[in-house]
Amino acid sequence: MKLPNYIDLAIIGAGVQALTLTTHLLQKSTKHYHKFLVFDPSRTWMNQWQQQFAAQQIPYLRSPVVHHPAPHPYQLRTFAENRPDELFPPYDRPGTKLFNDFCHEVIQRWNLADKIYPAKVIQILPTTSYSRPRFQLVLNTGETIIVRKVVLATGSGKVQLPDWAEKITSDYPPDKLCHSQQVNLNQLNITGERILIIGGGLTSGHLAKGAINLGATVTLMTRKQLQSKIFDAAPGWLGPKYLKDFHAQTDWDIRYEQIQQARNGGSMTPEMILQLSRAANEGKITIDECCQVRDAQWQDNLWQVYCHNNSKHQHGDCTWLTGDTRVRGNLEPRALGNPAVPRHQFNRIWLATGTRFNAQAHPLLQNVLETYPTEIVNGLPVLDEHLRLPKSNFFIMGGLAALQIGPVARNIGGGKMAVGRIVPAIVKPSWAIE
């Protein structure tokens, strides 16, 4: 594909939300087919999504069957009519292969395979060299292109690392301490190894299951008690039940707090907690709730891990370890002695600690935010009703749009909500994008 000099719309990223945007855009107006390009270095739709699901051996999605990239909510259910065993209760959550096959059909149906330009956007420069404001995209190939409108749909989250992990001074092999996004269960030989997994979200559960299946012994450490939720935010956040009051709230800081409370730092599905409990009863996993690492050092080809045992999180029914003794209940933590309790040694540490969203630190937003000053609340931009930076042609989807969409902004359902705001502004331009 030859890169044109100019395109009306550039979509940056080829993930699930970008695919959702393109199908809904074309449903509203097929004339836009020749007006946009999608930029992604992978050359294919949903490459990172599919790689992550495969690497963590995730059998099915957490979201229900009505959440997918196609315009009609029941299209995936129709697609699955002859594959009912690939819909999992409750809410008929689609199996990973079923979902991927469906998305492949959607891409073919809308003739989208050739809409991806195989390059990474490394810089976005607002330009006034034309009669109206435009953006110049700089690609990693050295090419440039002028665009009228931009939709940033890259996911935009930066991996979040605990303070202790960033302070480690000893040299260690990079595969012995890594974020969950770097773990590929299909490429590991960890039989007999002891693995420490940090985090209480569903990702940590998948990694724990995968490691156990590969013959490792796992310790799962969480800073609070495990939370059992079918979805990562209550279904009421997908409709007016919660969003009515959320959108009526004019204090952006309060909105931010509502988002944090709704997600509450990560949770697991009831079936995942049940599977991990069974594995714990079989001695394959130790689950340490309300425990946090204070320090870790790489010595003699093993991690020596020290924990806080006077953490503010250790109270009530939480569990922690002192030496080889498990302690539960309402004991005063200070009575347990040394605040740095040496734990068992580990061959690897995996950090399932999520991602952080910060518009000001996003490399593609640096120049754009200088030209279009935007209020930022704890890293999240205050966008207009169409998810644009104020008075610009620059749209944002995903977790960075949470102040407008709510706590499900990064999810498939949140992507569909974002599309409902963005597409009308593209199909029928308003003053802000002319």
Count Cα neighbours of 246 within 13 Å in the Cβ-side half-sphere.
23
Instruction: Assess whether 336 and 427 both reside in one domain.
Output: no
* pLDDT of amino acid 310: 42
* Domain final residue, candidates 289, 319, 351: 351
Instruction: Assess whether 337 and 192 both reside in one domain.
Output: yes
Instruction: Give yes or no for a cis peptide into 84 (omega within 30° of 0).
Output: no
Q: Tell me, yes or no, whether 116 lies in a domain.
A: yes
Give me the DSSP letters along 118-140: ---EEEEEEE-SSSS-EEEEEET
Whether 16 and 43 have beta carbons less than 8 Å apart is answered as no
**Which residues, including other chains, have CB under 8 Å from residue 135's CB and lie 6 or more apart?**
10, 124, 125, 126, 127, 146, 147, 148, 150, 368, 393, 394
Question: Residue 167 belongs to a domain with what CATH number?
Answer: 3.50.50.60
* Domain final residue, candidates 336, 351, 366: 351
Q: Tell me, yes or no, whether 62 lies in a domain.
A: no
Q: Is 355 exposed, middle or buried (0-12, 13-18, 19+ CB in 10 A)?
A: middle
Angle, in degrees to the nearest 10, between helices 252-263 and 240-248: 150
Q: Tell me, yes or no, whether 35 lies in a domain.
A: yes
| The two three-digit tokens of residue 193, written as one number | 């190894």
**Which residues, including other chains, have CB under 8 Å from residue 303's CB and lie 6 or more apart?**
172, 176, 177, 196, 296, 297, 345, 346, 347, 348, 349
Instruction: Assess whether 319 and 212 both reside in one domain.
Output: yes
Identify any residues that bridge with 10 across adjacent strands, giving them in sequence order.
Answer: 37, 150
**Which residues, including other chains, have CB under 8 Å from residue 168's CB and lie 6 or more apart?**
177, 296, 297, 298
Bin 161: left if φ > 0, else alpha if -120 < ψ < 50, else beta. Answer: beta
Count Cα neighbours of 378 within 13 Å in the Cβ-side half-sphere.
15
Instruction: Assess whether 177 and 320 both reside in one domain.
Output: yes
CA 40 to chain centroid, in Å, comes to: 17
Instruction: Assess whether 283 and 343 both reside in one domain.
Output: yes
Instruction: Assess whether 318 and 278 both reside in one domain.
Output: yes
Instruction: Assess whether 206 and 275 both reside in one domain.
Output: yes
Nearest to 74 by CA among 94, 54, 45, 90: 94
Q: Tell me, yes or no, whether 417 lies in a domain.
A: yes
Report the C-alpha gap between 79 and 56 in whole angstroms: 25
Q: How far apart are the first and last CA of the chain?
A: 28
Report the C-alpha gap between 428 and 432 in whole angstroms: 11
* Domain final residue, candidates 351, 376, 397: 351
Report the C-alpha gap between 31 and 147 in whole angstroms: 17
What is the DSSP pairing of strand 217-221 with strand 376-377?
Answer: unpaired
Whether 76 and 106 have beta carbons less than 8 Å apart is answered as no
Instruction: Assess whether 279 and 344 both reside in one domain.
Output: yes
Q: Tell me, yes or no, whether 79 lies in a domain.
A: no
Instruction: Assess whether 132 and 276 both reside in one domain.
Output: no
pLDDT along the chain (434 residues), means of 10: 96 98 97 97 97 98 98 98 97 98 98 98 92 95 98 92 94 97 98 98 98 98 96 95 98 98 94 98 96 94 85 41 36 39 85 96 97 98 98 97 98 98 89 50
Q: Tell me, yes or no, whether 149 lies in a domain.
A: yes
Give the angle subtended at the CA of 202 by the CAs of 199 and 203, to the nearest 5°: 70
Q: How many domains does the chain have?
A: 2
Report the C-alpha gap between 283 and 70 in whole angstroms: 44
Instruction: Assess whether 210 and 291 both reside in one domain.
Output: yes
Instruction: Assess whether 400 and 279 both reside in one domain.
Output: no
Range of the domain at 289: 159-231+267-351
Q: Tell me, yes or no, whether 223 lies in a domain.
A: yes
Q: Tell me, yes or no, whether 423 lies in a domain.
A: yes
Report the C-alpha gap between 293 and 418 in whole angstroms: 38
Identify any residues that bridge with 350 across adjacent strands, giving them in sequence order.
Answer: 178, 197
* pLDDT of amino acid 333: 33
Instruction: Assess whether 132 and 175 both reside in one domain.
Output: no
Q: pTM of the prediction?
A: 0.92
